[in-house]
Amino acid sequence: MDNREAIGSWLSGPRAAAEEMGTDFGYRGERLGLPKEGPGSAASVGRRFGALFLDWALCMLIAYGLFARDAQGAANYALGVLLVLNILTVGTVGSTPGKRLLGLRVVSESRGRLGFGWAVARSALLCLAVPALVWDRDGRGLHDRLARAVQVRI
């Protein structure tokens, strides 16, 4: 093996190296029985980050308006507001305001509504940030895997 091939596979990641060797991973959500495209398909990473950004901006506005008068204080309160917002909205209607605007919804792996207890666990893990940054090959964050949830397009 040439050193350039080894470095190229290392830089492109293990998935790209495995695909070059002939491994077929399928599309995101295939292992979960989700369609490849359209409503009910797995949400893209870009849409999920966009929804989180919109939710964070809303939480900053709420925290600044209700609890704090400076940006640093608002950021501290915004995390608590984000936790409450996620628990209430995902636990009841299945999507936060940001997810709704971008056409996403959180459902259980069985395609039903996510239970309130799972919504609490998912929201707490999301606020820790690290579990949301660890993904599986279906594009689900660790917080979704542990809560047996999946984010799908509406």
pLDDT value of position 69: 81
Would you write out the chain's pLDDT as a tens digit for each of its 154 residues?
A: 555 555 555 566 676 777 777 777 789 899 999 999 999 999 998 999 999 999 999 999 999 999 988 888 898 899 999 999 999 999 999 999 999 999 999 999 999 999 999 999 999 999 999 888 898 888 899 999 999 999 999 9
CB atoms near residue 66 (< 10 Å): 10
Phi-psi region of 33 (alpha: psi -120 to 50; beta: other; left: phi over 0): left
CB atoms near residue 49 (< 10 Å): 13
C-alpha pair distances (Å), 34 with each of 40, 78, 84, 86: 6, 33, 29, 24
pLDDT value of position 15: 67
pLDDT value of position 4: 52
Q: What is the CA radius of gyration of the chain?
A: 18
